[in-house]
């Protein structure tokens, strides 16, 4: 989707309201409903998407007028951002910028502005990054891959991610960068910064001919976007290396199939072929890993996941969830270091890659 097309879509929102006014009709906006009652599980894409329910913001309802006006104001603001090309704005910045819009349009709390942004996303069926509203940069990419993108000055830059100390930070420009060249045959996405650094220092990118991605916990949209593009455009299989607990497993699942909260844009962010590598519950037993006791929150989360459509028919995931419940224990990635710095690269990951039939291990 070109920037010009995005601008036209944003203009169309305003034009629909103008048409109502010219026809002496009450101006209104029809917006896809983002509530849980409108979530549908798409079996083909293994993710939640929005159903057909909509809501109407009408100028004829006094409770809707302010939100209708704010929606139009934010859409116009985003249109100018996209046309300007260089600038991006965080959600937090947008909240404060609204102070300049006067008492009738400004947001009193950030959740109000966040809600409008998500309504615009749903209306356009595209993430806020496409309209230059971004989350705080999070995540990094390291390995033999060359990217071409424009810096904030609009200048074209070409960077090989090996020529960085800790990897190229993943932000809005990186997520949409052109992939110039790579000889990698896989992607390893890593939950924690500590393990990401360990793999860099042990030259995992060379040993496994891989691109390493630091998720930094729950992956940002920009990180999920670049993972999807690496998989779709370069046909690189993706392996998800996370902590051995239900929240780590779900970090992997969000990359595979998106989240309920982002149902309106999951198809743009999710990477269904990505594979959960571990650390699994079975690994705790096999490798006699140091563990921590499960919290009540962990137990509750396991039971939720057991009934989640994304997990329900997956025998492997159900087996691991059952083992966690039986153990009542969880472990971090770093627990593998009991066997030394090189263990993860020399033994653990090769065994996992053979199990998953990764390139170079078939």
Active site residue: 96, 196, 287, 311, which one?
96
Q: What is the DSSP letter of 170?
A: -
What is the CB neighbour count within 10 angstroms for residue 10? 24
* CA distance from start to end of the chain: 37
Structure tokens at 247: 């929240």
Handedness of CA 323, 324, 329, 334 (dihedral sign): positive
Q: Which residues contact 106 (CB under 8 A, 6 or more apart)?
A: 98, 99, 100
344 class by beta-carbon count within 10 Å (0-12 exposed, 13-18 middle, 19+ buried): buried
Residues 227, 218: Cα–Cα separation, whole Å: 13
Q: What is the DSSP letter of 134?
A: E
**Measuring CA to CA, how many Å separate 183 from each of 1, 140, 180, 202, 238?**
28, 19, 11, 19, 15
Q: 167 with 200: CB under 8 angstroms?
A: yes
96 classed as catalytic? yes
362 class by beta-carbon count within 10 Å (0-12 exposed, 13-18 middle, 19+ buried): exposed
Nearest residue to 349 via CA among 252, 275, 285, 290: 275
Structure tokens at 170: 């993943």
Q: Is the peptide bond before 279 cis (omega within 30 degrees of 0)?
A: yes
Catalytic residues: 96
């Amino acid at each position: 989707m070109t920037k010009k097309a995005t601008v036209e879509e944003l203009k169309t929102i305003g034009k629909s309201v103008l048409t109502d006014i010219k026809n002496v009709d009450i101006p209104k906006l029809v917006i896809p409903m983002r509530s849980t009652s409108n979530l549908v599980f798409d079996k083909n894409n293994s993710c939640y998407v929005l159903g057909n329910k909509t809501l109407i913001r009408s100028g004829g309802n006094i409770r809707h007028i302010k939100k209708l006006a704010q929606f139009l104001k934010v859409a116009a603001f985003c249109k100018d951002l996209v046309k300007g090309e260089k600038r991006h704005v965080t959600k937090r910045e947008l909240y404060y910028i609204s102070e300049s819009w006067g008492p009738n349009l400004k947001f009193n709390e950030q959740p109000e502005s966040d809600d409008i942004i998500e309504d615009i996303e749903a209306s356009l069926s595209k993430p806020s990054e496409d309209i230059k509203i971004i989350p705080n940069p999070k995540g990094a990419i390291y390995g033999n891959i060359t990217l071409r993108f424009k810096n904030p000055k609009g200048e074209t830059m070409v960077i090989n991610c090996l020529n960085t100390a800790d990897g190229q930070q993943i932000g809005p420009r990186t997520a949409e960068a052109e992939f110039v060249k790579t000889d990698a045959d896989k992607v390893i996405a890593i939950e924690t910064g500590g393990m990401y650094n360990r793999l860099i220092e042990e030259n995992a990118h060379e040993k496994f001919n891989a691109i390493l991605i630091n998720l930094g916990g729950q992956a940002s949209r920009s990180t999920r976007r670049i993972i999807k593009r690496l998989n779709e455009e370069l046909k690189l299989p993706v392996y998800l290396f996370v902590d051995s607990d239900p929240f780590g497993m779900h970090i992997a699942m969000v990359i595979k199939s998106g989240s309920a909260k982002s149902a309106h844009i999951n198809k743009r962010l999710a990477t269904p072929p990505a594979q959960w590598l571990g650390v699994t519950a079975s690994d705790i037993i096999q490798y006699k890993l140091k563990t921590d006791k499960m919290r009540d929150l962990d137990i509750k989360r396991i039971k939720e996941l057991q009934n989640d459509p994304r997990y329900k028919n997956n025998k492997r995931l159900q087996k691991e969830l059952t083992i966690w419940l039986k153990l009542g224990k969880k472990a971090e990635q770093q627990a593998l270091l009991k066997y030394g710095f090189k263990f993860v690269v020399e033994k653990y990951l090769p065994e996992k890659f053979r199990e998953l039939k990764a390139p170079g291990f078939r």
